[in-house]
Structure 1
Amino acid sequence: MNVTNINETSNNFQDEKLSLYYIVSMLFVLSSIVLTTLIGNFLVITAILTTKSLKTVTNSFILSLAVADTLVAIFVLPLSIYMVIFNKWIFGDLICHLWISCDVGLCTASILNLCCISLDRYFAITRPLKYSRQRSPKLAKIMIAFVWIFSFAITCPPILGWKDPFRKENECTLHLRLSYRIYSSLGSFYLPCIIMIFVYIRIFKVIHNREKYLKNSNNFSFFNKEKRKKKLNNSDDKNTEKIVQNIFKKIRHNSNSNTNEFNKKESTISLLNFKSKNSLTKITSENNLVGEKLAGEAASPHKGSSLGSFKTQENVKRLKNGNQEQMRLIKESKAAKTLAIVVGGFIVSWFPFFIMYVLEAILPLGTISKAWVDWITWLGYVNSAINPFIYAFCSKQFRMAFYRISLGSLKTSSQTSSIKYVNNFLASNNTNNNLYVNKQNQSNGYFSNSNQSFPMLVGNYYHQKNRNGRNSENF
């Protein structure tokens, strides 16, 4: 009998020890997620509000997203930690309804803000001219207002009377009625997810088609720096010499050798040099044709010079347009990559939860264990923590703003302490410095007031020295 009691006591002690380890470890992990969410989204909000270059229409959606994620970390996650650890509800029905409403509403707002960001990128890339005229802070405010109104409209039915018949005492779980779960999951996840996937596929196709068009275009090799550098490095002076020899042969064959022809040849060579510097790849492949054209045009110097001027303007115009297209393509590709990371993080975080969210209402109660429900739910919450890191890794402006905000207070405190140190140093050494400067000024014939402070004396000393130097230069 005593042995049995000892074994039971030992087992209870082991269970309590494991339970304590579980509580401490879960508290540490989940609190770290909450803290990361708060700090990251606080940096995003502060960066947008304090950095002029970040106050754009697109970033207004990011600001709304960061506000939603911050509110999730404040009003939803702490009570969720309590439910994970203690697995019971002691705060009453009113707090339970408010907590569930905040959970559903704020997470929906976060997801719909991501959808607005995707739509904004989609219209900016696929319809740049039309959307640039319609895009405005007012339109962004209307879209953001719709996001928040629609988000809390999804949470209203349970509050207005769509009660959950399956809820037990000392429990606070999401609404288990299947009709409500289908309604809320469609508005909160499935429709936004379909829109975001469709938008990303369209953006990818548009960028791919533009890149393909530029590669197939004759202008692409002209303004593509990487290809131009590679081709210039592989070319040598022998190609240019051969072209010059072909041109001279054509000129000697079609005209008499005199002084005028010599001048015409010089203009031809200068035109060749211009072309060899700016479009050597074309000349290398078509040297005979270029030689024949230039030899025929050499008979008229005015015609040759006007041709060179026209082609110069044309090449400059093509270069400018090509560079603009290339820069726009680079920006669009970067935006598409950022959007892909955002959409990917969103799907990975929330897709398992909303699958479980519907299945839990279809399957018998208890089929899905509470541990799985907790882990999958927190996987969705993690999406609120990773969004700031996505912007930091993908946007140099956000990185610089985060760096400035993080080190701003440290720099301010260090500058204040440095100023205090300098002031104290000057005050403590004021008497000795005055005596030294007075002696120095007297030995050099300068007049100084003994009542002047050390900084003023030093300033007077160097001012007088500079004046003497300028006078000596005048002599």
Structure 2
Amino acid sequence: MFLLVLKGTAMVAIMFGAVFGNLLVITSVMKFERLRVITNYFIVSLAFADLLVAILVMPFNAFNEISEKWLFGRVMCDIFNANDVLFSTASILHLCCISMDRYIAILHPLQYETKMTKTRVAIMLAVTWVASILISYIPIQSQLYTTSENYQALESDHHACLFIVNRVYAGVSSCVSFWIPCTIMVFVYAKIYMEARKQEKFIQSNAVYMQYSHSVGKRDAQRFERKRMKREHKAAKTLGIIMGAFILCFLPFFSWYVITSMCREKCPYPPILGSILFWIGYFNSCLNPILYAYFNRDFRTAFKKILRLDRSNCDMFDPTTQALNTAYNDLKESNHLRTSVS
């Protein structure tokens, strides 16, 4: 009984944290104009996906775990499984989009405004959601995802809702939902890290040069450049940590998912293992807002203002995350200053 209460308490805490935290993220971006930058459009869409996980997926899984039987019928079983695949896929594809956004902002800052337009961002978000629907609802609703044995078992026992997939779907869905996007993100962030290290060395050497520079114009131009670089690096670091947290939460699940789907009866495992891995993945949905609050000063300030923990004037809002809106303008002004003093 104690373990059942402990399990239920943990599940409720994760659900509440995911709903509360992601609503806070969405409200912050809607309420504060300074948070309405390109990268945060992806973050809002990601928060929406995490919010739907907490509302449409976690409660059904929790009831199933506590009662140890499925209470919602055959049709809802398929919808539940499809939603689970849909939102986990959407989450990692959003992170993949964010990594590409950061890649362009840091490695190609002068091209950022022309490449990352609102129209292009809308297309990227639409593709993310459509791809997630295609890999989830279509194969699951058409029963192409499972084995014939599991399909017959589900048809005969409506109190069971097991997500048992065939080898083809296991391979395709895991590649689309995790392995390919994860590989792309690791590669992109490796490139970003190398470029950031290069720019940090430039900033340090430039700081020494500025001490001996007698030209006000040159010093101002270099100061603009340093500020832009620092803002971009901070945003990239925060989003890199979010990506790392996602991988840590989902790598165990997808490894288990592929192994057990491929070898089936030859790879027995305790049922509790599957439950733990599912909920570690769900925990990621309430983790992102915590990471924003800890690593991003602007989100932290916005959260405090919304929760009435900070009653200071909203105009005093820290502009750190204006990086994507101001970087290009700073750089243009920097180039103008260089031209004027040369």
Q: Name the counterpart of 1:117.
A: 98
Show CA shifts across 1:19-52 (max 9, x none).
x212211111110000000000010011111111
In structure 2, the CA distance between the partners of 1:212 and 1:146, relative to structure 1 (3 Å rule), is same
In 2, the alpha carbon distance for the partners of 1:62 and 1:318 equals 36
Residues 1:336 and 2:325 aligned together: no
Q: Name the counterpart of 1:369.
A: 270
1:338-353 equivalences in 2 (<5 Å): 338-353=238-253
Residue pair 2:19, 2:51 contacting (<8 A) in 1 also: yes
Show CA shifts across 1:170-220 (max 9, x none).
32122421110111111100111011111110000111112223444xx43
Residues 1:221 and 2:208 aligned together: yes
Residue pair 1:200, 1:339 contacting (<8 A) in 2 also: no
1:51-450 equivalences in 2 (<5 Å): 51-155=32-136, 156-162=138-144, 164=146, 165-167=148-150, 168=153, 169=157, 170-216=159-205, 219-223=206-210, 279=212, 312=214, 315-365=215-265, 367-407=268-308
Aligned partner of 2:20: which letter? I
- Residue 118 of structure 1, CA deviation: 1.2
Show CA shifts across 1:286-319 (max 9, x none).
xxxxxxxxxxxxxxxxxxxxxxxxx85xx21221
- Alignment TM-score, normalising by the size of structure 2: 0.84
Aligned partner of 1:39: which letter? F
Return 5+ residue gaps in structure 1 as ranges: 1-19, 229-278, 280-310, 412-475
In structure 2, the CA distance between the partners of 1:138 and 1:163, relative to structure 1 (3 Å rule), is closer
Aligned partner of 2:8: which letter? L
Aligned partner of 2:238: which letter? T
Aligned partner of 1:148: which letter? W
- Residue 133 of structure 1, CA deviation: 1.9
Residue pair 2:305, 2:311 contacting (<8 A) in 1 also: no
Describe the SS at the equivalent of 2:268: coil
1:44-55 equivalences in 2 (<5 Å): 44-55=25-36
- Residue 340 of structure 1, CA deviation: 2.1
Show CA shifts across 1:342-368 (max 9, x none).
111011000000000111112333702
In 1, the alpha carbon distance for the partners of 2:220 and 2:238 equals 27
Describe the SS at the equivalent of 2:308: helix
Structure showing greater radius of gyration is 1
Describe the SS at the equivalent of 1:367: coil
- Residue 393 of structure 1, CA deviation: 1.3
Aligned partner of 1:212: which letter? K
Aligned partner of 1:198: which letter? F
Q: How many residues align?
A: 303
Describe the SS at the equivalent of 2:264: coil
In 2, the alpha carbon distance for the partners of 1:86 and 1:362 equals 29
Describe the SS at the equivalent of 1:407: coil
* Percent identity (aligned): 35
Describe the SS at the equivalent of 1:363: helix
Show CA shifts across 1:138-161 (max 9, x none).
111111111110001001112124
In 2, the alpha carbon distance for the partners of 1:335 and 1:89 equals 43
In 2, the alpha carbon distance for the partners of 1:134 and 1:122 equals 12
Aligned partner of 2:251: which letter? F
Residue pair 1:75, 1:102 contacting (<8 A) in 2 also: yes
Aligned partner of 1:208: which letter? R
In 1, the alpha carbon distance for the partners of 2:140 and 2:227 equals 51
In structure 2, the CA distance between the partners of 1:163 and 1:395, relative to structure 1 (3 Å rule), is closer
In 2, the alpha carbon distance for the partners of 1:360 and 1:88 equals 22
Residue pair 2:304, 2:310 contacting (<8 A) in 1 also: no
- Residue 163 of structure 1, CA deviation: 5.1
Q: Name the counterpart of 1:31.
A: 12
Aligned partner of 2:233: which letter? S
Q: Name the counterpart of 2:321.
A: none
Aligned partner of 1:324: which letter? F
In 2, the alpha carbon distance for the partners of 1:213 and 1:22 equals 56
- Residue 372 of structure 1, CA deviation: 0.5
1:2-13 equivalences in 2 (<5 Å): none
Return 5+ residue gaps in structure 2 as ranges: 313-342
- Residue 410 of structure 1, CA deviation: 10
Describe the SS at the equivalent of 2:160: coil
In structure 2, the CA distance between the partners of 1:403 and 1:88, relative to structure 1 (3 Å rule), is same
Residue pair 1:166, 1:176 contacting (<8 A) in 2 also: no
- Alignment TM-score, normalising by the size of structure 1: 0.61
List structure 1 segments (4+ residues) > 6 angstroms apart after TM superposition.
Answer: 408-411
Q: Name the counterpart of 2:327.
A: none
- Residue 336 of structure 1, CA deviation: 2.5
Residue pair 2:21, 2:289 contacting (<8 A) in 1 also: yes
Describe the SS at the equivalent of 1:171: coil
- Residue 77 of structure 1, CA deviation: 0.1
In 2, the alpha carbon distance for the partners of 1:196 and 1:25 equals 36
Q: What is the alpha-carbon root mean square deviation over aligned residues?
A: 2.0
Residue pair 1:175, 1:181 contacting (<8 A) in 2 also: no
